[in-house]
Amino acid sequence: MGITLTLAQYFIDHEIAYRLVPHPHTETARASAAASGLPADRVVKGVVLKTHHGFILALLPASRHLRLDTLRQLLGDDVDIANEEQVEPLFADCEPGSVPGLGAPYGLEIVVDDSLATQPDLYLEGGDHIDLVHLKGASFRKLTENGRHGRFSDALEST
Amino acid sequence: MGRDLRMVRFSEIAPVEAGLEFQRTVAEQVTNQTATPLLVAWRCHPALLVSGSETRLPEFDKASAALDAAGWPVFVRRSGGAACPVGPGTLQVAMIEPASPNATMTAEYARLAEMIRTTLACFGVAAQIGCVPAAFCPGRFDVAVEGKKIAGLSQHWFRNRRGVRCLIVAASLNLEEPPDLLSRLVNQFYRIAGSPLGCEATALTNLILSAGATFGAGQDLAEAVVARFRDAARCDLSFPVKPGKSASPAQA
């Protein structure tokens, strides 16, 4: 089971209890939700955005997709989705392609979709493709309260 | 797997930045065709390794200056984790390899941790793998003796200049640094930096303390451990690494 030292240390620092939920190897947050038998609206998807001022991590449910135009209005900046080569060095102790569901441990500002605000439990990527990190929704909200918040997602169509 | 590992190491104690650069130099030579992970061993002058998150502590600069004045300069490492003191009495070991699509964080940690456990067993030391919460930089793959941390591991994934995804799994094995000295340094750093973090000397140990009378006076402990490490990894010693500008690796 996996969680990076960076995230584990961050949880220790903030006295946050968590639990690892193993699942078969997946490549996306939505697939992780399905593989874990969890509702996708409780699994946090991280999307790295590039702005003129650096990188920002957008956090939204795996059941939704990001509305870039809304985010551009919200952030008041020229925002685009970062590419793989830009993302990987930001999370140096994570497996390639894994984007953790918290920004502060990696020195990143965050913007959090409002649809995560009411979930009682949330599941984040912890740095690999075979585990999710289970947190109480209240813990997640405490850890992300200093970030920007807004509604910038739409529901994905069911597959 | 083990018999394909190859080992290179520094011949002398070096500044910590040279050791870290040495690891990068070796990683730059990794290609997708590299079938064998490389095991690197080195020792360094006293230093406190921290990760990027520590640099955001309120009084990081002040804490760094204090540690520097005490002879333990602070260096930021690319891998994660909390503050970790290293010095001539610790052995740095890193496993460097191309990151295969099947590589997982957990499996790679387990591989190096098991190698350390096997090495320690050669000295009659029974070690376990698991988090030691009261130690510095606690992690799930801490190597412990009777509940006291003797080695800690970290990881760093990146692409080298050849575009190859590489993985460095690094370990710091305490051979003979006194636990109370290390805990005092770590606690001093966090106290000045404005963090509630810290560690307890009673949660730490080293090989001398753990192995008791196994070593004779004058025996070069690091050499003995590297030799056992080589056995544990069943290393092929012919890796043709080219010396870098700031790193002068010597083949073991």
Describe the crossing of helices B60-69 and B179-193 by its angle, rounded to 10 degrees. Answer: 150
Kindly report, residue by residue over A33-51, the tens digit of the pLDDT: 999 999 999 999 999 999 9
B231 neighbors B8 (Cβ within 8 angstroms)? no
C-alpha A69/C-alpha A83 separation (Å) is 18
CATH number of residue B198's parent domain: 3.30.930.10
User: To the nearest whole angstrom, how far is the Cα of A43 from the nearest Cα of chain B?
Assistant: 21
Find the mean pLDDT for residues B138-160: 95
Higher pLDDT, B126 or B81: B126
> What average pLDDT is seen over chain B?
86
A131 neighbors A23 (Cβ within 8 angstroms)? yes
Kindly report, residue by residue over B37-95, the tens digit of the pLDDT: 888 999 999 999 999 889 999 999 999 999 999 999 999 998 888 999 999 999 999 99
B236 — pLDDT class (breaks 50, 70, 90): very low
C-alpha B29/C-alpha A159 separation (Å) is 44
A45 neighbors A130 (Cβ within 8 angstroms)? no
Instruction: Give pLDDT, residue B248.
Output: 38
- Domain assignment present for residue A13? The answer is yes
- Domain assignment present for residue A72? The answer is yes
Mutation choice for B interface testing from A1, A3, A4, A5 by most B CBs within 10 A: A5
> What average pLDDT is seen over chain A?
93
B12 — pLDDT class (breaks 50, 70, 90): confident
- Domain assignment present for residue A100? The answer is yes
Residue numbers of the domain that contains A111: 5-119+131-155
Residue numbers of the domain that contains B246: 2-251
Find the mean pLDDT for residues B233-238: 55
Cβ neighbors of B103 (< 8 A, separation 6 or more) are A95, B97, B167
Residue among A7, A9, A96 whose CB faces B82 most closely: A9
Residue B123 reports pLDDT greater than 60:
yes
Size of interface A-B (CB pairs under 8 A): 81
Higher pLDDT, B209 or B28: B209
- Domains in chain A, number: 1
Asked if the interface predicted TM-score (ipTM) of this complex is over 0.85, the answer is: no
Look at B82 and A3 and tell me if their CB atoms are within 8 Å: no
CATH number of residue A13's parent domain: 3.90.960.10
- Domains in chain B, number: 1
Instruction: Give pLDDT, residue B75.
Output: 95
Kindly report, residue by residue over B171-202, the tens digit of the pLDDT: 999 999 999 999 999 999 999 999 999 999 99
Look at A92 and B82 and tell me if their CB atoms are within 8 Å: no
B218 — pLDDT class (breaks 50, 70, 90): low
Give B226: exposed, middle or buried? Use CB within 10 Å, 0-12, 13-18, 19+.
buried
B145 — pLDDT class (breaks 50, 70, 90): very high
- Domain assignment present for residue A19? The answer is yes
- Domain assignment present for residue A125? The answer is no
User: To the nearest whole angstrom, how far is the Cα of A155 from the nearest Cα of chain B?
Assistant: 31
Look at A106 and B105 and tell me if their CB atoms are within 8 Å: no
B39 neighbors B235 (Cβ within 8 angstroms)? yes
Residue A11 reports pLDDT greater than 90:
yes
Kindly report, residue by residue over A59-117, the tens digit of the pLDDT: 999 999 999 999 999 998 789 999 999 999 999 999 999 999 999 999 999 999 999 99
Instruction: Give pLDDT, residue B243.
Output: 34
- Domain assignment present for residue A136? The answer is yes
